[in-house]
Structure 1
């Protein structure tokens, strides 16, 4: 595998991370995951804009431009001969002796990246997933895509130990988002999702899905809803860079709707698939799209 680190492309033997890197010591950094379809970076500018925004929010003075970050991402895809997978980019505040306050201005941020193979989880798209609700004990700046993911890790593990594929964060009785995804419910033909504020990460796939819903004339309401309301939704799904649009068929062991991926979820999956560089059919036979190139 070929890695990127502060302007250099390195192999596995050359790549190293200092024990004094503030990302390692404090989780003092931000990151992005950019999906690659047919060797092409998907929604790359949106991801990179968010990376720069996250860095700014935690006051990391990142000097890279979007074009520079896009170029290094393309170089990683080519160097690793990636067809379908993702590019991971990470920015930390830099390497300095351990102290909670920021280091001096002479300490430069550390930027690393790599590209890995990661096929689409087609079976999960087709069959649906199970979710488990967990208490949201995270900090109040979930809009920042930071390296501080211990709360997400513990939630995902709790879901995994309950034979569920994803956890659903609930704070004060209100559904927020998944442990690594955004959450959506459909009731009587209306699509509901939590508004983009400090309680959730405004996912790039979330934004794509909201636009697709409007294109399909599906009414959209960005409004928080409760766990009790989630349990009686007609359809439910979660979204992320790698999970795309994943139907939820059970939540806390209770069946959602008819216990199968719903019609509007299928329509959104098909619309999502059509606009990819390499669309792959998802859903019932009559809704499937061709495997040709996107126009």
Structure 2
């Protein structure tokens, strides 16, 4: 986390940023958030980022206090003030400060905050070694398509798999994998990428969206359907995708190797494909 943050119209030091204990984000988890990657000091994946951000706001009847042009300026300023070359930005909108009543308060300004963080995305050593995953029960609510700040289900799942010494968890509901605790989930069999179709059961992952576009352009076959842990264990390769990891190979699930137990060639190709497109967007960004 970097030192200069943005809160309700002002840039300030992180230690000086204060939010009321009556903010509905604190009381109810009444808000949404986004994470967007930064490469070469530029926000990337900007169009799908704004699309999902605005969709989540609309689904909970909340309006952003800033338009896209204003948000562009805020994010660019945050990047510059914190000297971020590679990493990401976290931003959050809540329904604001009001007496504790469950119904929506009237004429209450939203709370908006954002901060940057530095992270090695391109040369992530985990892309070379691969990561291990453990399965866990999906106990979340039924509107996972909303990027809600209410993440207790994911927190509990993350802690469960952390105690098992693995990098990520794959959540399972009715015998089928939904998604990772903070990533999209994919398996590969006979050259075909398999991933769960979009619905209220999963978050509309931006990395998923872009990867499917890239695979279509390269004539790589994709099947959008449900799959189980048992099927994943028989896959040739598996991988996860998220905002600040892009594509990472999964080499083990529940202590059992996937394929050769090492990062496979197709996942490496997909990662290279994604990085190439991301670097191009960063270079062309004004």
From 114, 130, 134, the counterpart of 2:132: 130
Task: Give the aligned partner of residue 67 of structure 2.
Answer: 65
What is the distance in 2 between the residues matched to 1:251 and 1:14? 43
1:116-141 Cα deviation digits (max 9, x unpaired): 11222611111100000111110011
1:175-220 Cα deviation digits (max 9, x unpaired): 1100000000101111010111111111111111112222222101
The aligned runs of 1:49-88 (5 Å cut-off) are 49-88=51-90
The alpha carbon displacement at 1:63 in A equals 4.1
**Alignment pair present for 1:241 and 2:243:** yes
Task: Give the aligned partner of residue 26 of structure 2.
Answer: 24
11-20 or 106-115, which moves further after superposition? Answer: 11-20
What is the distance in 2 between the residues matched to 1:131 and 1:115? 27
3-state SS of the aligned residue for 1:131?
strand
The alpha carbon displacement at 1:13 in A equals 4.0
3-state SS of the aligned residue for 2:154?
helix
Which 5+ residue runs of structure 1 have no aligned equivalent? 280-292
- 8 A Cα contact 1:237 1:247, kept in partner: yes
3-state SS of the aligned residue for 1:142?
coil
- 8 A Cα contact 1:30 1:90, kept in partner: yes
What is the distance in 2 between the residues matched to 1:146 and 1:140? 12
**Alignment pair present for 1:119 and 2:136:** no
Task: Answer 1 or 2: higher relative contact order, Cα 8 Å, separation at least 6.
Answer: 2
The alpha carbon displacement at 1:6 in A equals 1.7
The alpha carbon displacement at 1:269 in A equals 1.1
3-state SS of the aligned residue for 1:276?
helix
Task: Give the aligned partner of residue 109 of structure 2.
Answer: 108
| C-alpha RMSD of the superposition | 1.7
The aligned runs of 1:1-295 (5 Å cut-off) are 1-104=3-106, 106-120=107-121, 122-277=124-279
Question: Given the two structures, how large is their TM-score scaled by the length of structure 2?
Answer: 0.94
Runs of 4+ off more than 3 Å = none
Which 5+ residue runs of structure 2 have no aligned equivalent? none
- 8 A Cα contact 2:65 2:112, kept in partner: no
What is the distance in 2 between the residues matched to 1:139 and 1:177? 14
1:130-165 Cα deviation digits (max 9, x unpaired): 000111110011100000101101111111111110
3-state SS of the aligned residue for 1:228?
helix
